[in-house]
Amino acid sequence: MAEIEVILVAVRDIFQDEAGRKSLFSEEYRILSALITLDKQDMAGLAIKDGDKLLVKSEAGSIVAAARASKDEVREAHPGLAFICVSPWYSQLVPDDGCERISVKATLVPTAEAVTAISEIQARMKS
């Protein structure tokens, strides 16, 4: 099975932020938060399409998120960079060492698993 290493960059998104203000437990918030945006070249290398699931692993932890191809047609390609909203999903990938990070190294692997539920993230944080 294909896998790639990327620098996963945390971003802010006004639509995801608004969905979180309404409810951190909503389907809308999960869809916008557990989403990895990738360069089209990286999507092709993984043989995935929009909506396919990825196991995202870092030194600190792992999640399952949906994939989406970057729609940035204006700038040059950015293979090796992926983007995720600042969220509980991103926090599972960041070391708990008191430092605030805007990016982490991660490995992406296609998977058939379901997107990590917020309830599972909550359970991890309690233990």
Can you give the residue ranges of every domain in the chain?
A: 4-126
Fold annotation for 4-126: Barwin-like endoglucanases (2.40.40)
- pTM for the predicted model, two decimal places: 0.89
- Region 34-54: mean pLDDT is 95
Closest by Cα among 61, 66, 59, 60 to 111: 66
What pLDDT does 75 receive?
A: 60
Range among 21-25, 67-71, 75-79 with highest mean pLDDT value: 67-71
Distance CA 15, CA 124 (A): 26
pLDDT in tens, 5-18: 999 999 988 888 88
Q: Look at the alpha carbons of 31, 71, 21, 99 in this order and tell me if their dihedral is positive or negative.
A: positive
- Which residue blocks in the chain are alpha helix, DSSP H? 14-22, 27-33, 40-46, 88-91, 118-126
Whole-angstrom distance, CA of residue 65 vs CA of residue 61:
13
